[in-house]
Chains A and B, each alone.
Chain A
């Protein structure tokens, strides 16, 4: 059991560490940010809190020491410096290592690290005593506020369609604390017999709270008791209990508020955090000016509390169930069409709507913003540029673009490699940049955006770019090209995706081992994506990756040849038209589409189907790439089908024309046609 909790703890800490890294990097950009300093302090505190429980003594010690450093920074008795930031990042790595490899193996590293830490603390020790003042820009406490809430429903609340238990669960969710049900001693005409009082602490602002109870505005009264989480204070809890047990109908909020200003909190404040609460209470006047900052901190905290962690296996299972549901829905539709029972029809429509929403929802759960990868990249840029003595800014845009989790998971390595290449080979050293009339700092821009059914990711740098002549020379040297070959620049650039092709003049530990871009390409292709590189010598390089949105459900057109059902992804289809065999033969296998002669692929012939073609065949015109159209001949067009993609299994891993299957409502299997592969195959055999 404990082991299981420990695993959870490790996972949690890893999340916190990611968050921390992010914050440290943000702090580096803006060293005065009180928000960031506080957040680091909090994260350290949280990790420390539970580390001891799972016997991570060293983690406990490290976080304690780092926490106190940030405590001093908060007090302004220490300032944010590169040394501190580096140590904080080092601490992140160290804790990660400690959690994954166990504490026994890293004793030395920890000792070295702690020594470095104490060096900082000692050098500033003299100032600690004077560090009492709370300088402007610092925020109080940890964003927690303790509230008193009274919920007194009107007698007609139920008639207004308001669900009392719903309100109660809202109150419960608003924060941590107690909810006390009360019963009216004397019956009242206008009021409901029961009412509730609650005292809780939360990071939500007063306004957020009033918004939650918007519909029962007149029946919910919220009073702020104090800044800070008073539930951390045992005396407050005692006071609350005694007030609650008194004969009074309501808790005396004045007494609660009086409890705070009466100085009882001050007396019992133990942890550093409470000290901050106290200071905040004393310095109430400075608070209003800081409200903005607090609000921002609260908003940031809120986004975190609204998300939960789910085992990805559970999500996979959910997707499977959704697939089954979509299939069952189709089955039901068939039944309706067969017996034509009107009631069943309406029911079918409902189920249809619900299952569609369910499907969209389940799909969206699997979608993860690409931002989840950014942290790693920011860290990579920072560390590598320092190591290589380059100055690089990393800018991101569209990181809220969402992709299926499977895709995101498999993107990390290829993207990492591309960025690494940009840092190592792309961006020049500051001296060279200045000599070339460029700004000293290089720029790597990461952009993600949606387009149709795809997500595009672009990584651009303003570095040296690729030299096509050098590429050409290299290619000939390595035997990728013959000296007589005369490739276009585009073709030359494609060469970097070939296994064993690397143009790095010297092999560094970072990149240039010649495995890389080919692996990158393979990874992207596996995700049904495409990758392209463009570059201009002296100006920079851009790598563009095109990816599908999700891998599991696609809209398709159901067609048939002979008795076989085939699916063609709708997003590829441009048009559908009819053609007779005779006309086809007369035109020698070509037909005119939008005024242009267009290649036709006779799927019956190509896929070696038996049977006779019908008199009138259908042409499905697909948009292959860059407005190149190809017509596919099929027997019949049956209709649209939302295909839940299933793999055909390992037996068909090398199947060239079929990328998967989907089960239809009646249980039969339709095969998903892999159009790009089919066309590519045709191109090859034509050459």
Chain B
């Protein structure tokens, strides 16, 4: 278990008007938006692939993947957060790009200050979130990276014809 008194840094970012955060230890790099190559016949939340230092990375629109609200499109100011999913698991880890409207801040949060998501939250399915905390009068949702980028779910969606 993590030490409850020490704080952990999170990277907060903006999707539409809402704020979310990834644990910073899972973030590899934040890069500018670049040429996206669409892959035919993939679910809509897979925007395509990008060239990240010579490697090919899938680029995921988590708004569509997690059923979040969205009313605007990504523009030139959008950025890509490169994440190392399942970082500790040497066999199953992989890099993925998560496209967001803007990166905000690095916030230090104590685990005790992260509160659970209410069961019937209308903004996000609780299975995708680790919790929520308040920072400068804003609520920030901490995303559960393995749950959001789970391959199994991706496969299942495929089977369901999504």
* Interface: B135 (CB within 8 A): no
Contact with B along A653-687 (1 / 0, CB 8 A): 11111100101000111110000000000000000
A658 pairs with B54, CB closer than 8 A: no
Query: What residues of chain A lie closer than 8 Å to B151, measured between beta carbons?
Result: 650-651, 653
Can you report 5 A-B residue pairs in the complex whose CB atoms are below 8 A from each other?
A649-B94, A651-B58, A655-B39, A655-B41, A670-B37
Nearest chain A CB to B50 CB, angstrom units: 8
Tell me the A residues contacting B by CB distance below 8 Å.
Answer: 323-324, 327, 564-565, 607-609, 646-658, 661, 663, 667-671
B94 pairs with A609, CB closer than 8 A: no
Nearest chain A CB to B17 CB, angstrom units: 28
Query: What residues of chain A lie closer than 8 Å to B60, measured between beta carbons?
Result: 651
Nearest chain B CB to A477 CB, angstrom units: 32
Query: What residues of chain B lie closer than 8 Å to A655, measured between beta carbons?
Result: 39, 41-42
B51 pairs with A667, CB closer than 8 A: yes
* Interface: B82 (CB within 8 A): no
Taken together as a complex, chains A and B put the C-alpha atoms of A139 and B94 apart, in Å, by 58
B37 pairs with A668, CB closer than 8 A: yes
B41 pairs with A652, CB closer than 8 A: no
A607 pairs with B96, CB closer than 8 A: no
Tell me the B residues contacting A by CB distance below 8 Å.
Answer: 35, 37-42, 46, 49-51, 54-58, 60, 92, 94-96, 151, 154-155, 158
A654 pairs with B37, CB closer than 8 A: no
Taken together as a complex, chains A and B put the C-alpha atoms of A564 and B42 apart, in Å, by 14
Taken together as a complex, chains A and B put the C-alpha atoms of A565 and B51 apart, in Å, by 14
A607 pairs with B38, CB closer than 8 A: no
Name the residue among A647, A651, A667, A671 with the largest chain B CB count within 10 angstroms: A651
Query: What residues of chain B lie closer than 8 Å to A607, measured between beta carbons?
Result: 40-41
B158 pairs with A661, CB closer than 8 A: no
Taken together as a complex, chains A and B put the C-alpha atoms of A605 and B93 apart, in Å, by 35
Taken together as a complex, chains A and B put the C-alpha atoms of A648 and B154 apart, in Å, by 14
Given the known interface contacts A650-B94, A654-B158, A661-B49, the answer about A608 and B35 at a Cβ–Cβ threshold of 8 Å is no
Given the known interface contacts A608-B41, A669-B37, the answer about A651 and B51 at a Cβ–Cβ threshold of 8 Å is no
Taken together as a complex, chains A and B put the C-alpha atoms of A615 and B46 apart, in Å, by 31
Nearest chain A CB to B135 CB, angstrom units: 31
Residue of A nearest to B37 (CB): A669
B58 pairs with A646, CB closer than 8 A: no
Query: What residues of chain A lie closer than 8 Å to B35, measured between beta carbons?
Result: 667-668
Taken together as a complex, chains A and B put the C-alpha atoms of A674 and B40 apart, in Å, by 13
Given the known interface contacts A650-B94, A663-B56, the answer about A669 and B40 at a Cβ–Cβ threshold of 8 Å is no
Contact of A564 among B38, B54, B55, B158 (CB under 8 A): B38
A663 pairs with B51, CB closer than 8 A: yes
Query: What residues of chain A lie closer than 8 Å to B155, measured between beta carbons?
Result: 653-654
Contact of A671 among B37, B92, B94 (CB under 8 A): B37
A324 pairs with B54, CB closer than 8 A: yes
Taken together as a complex, chains A and B put the C-alpha atoms of A640 and B108 apart, in Å, by 52
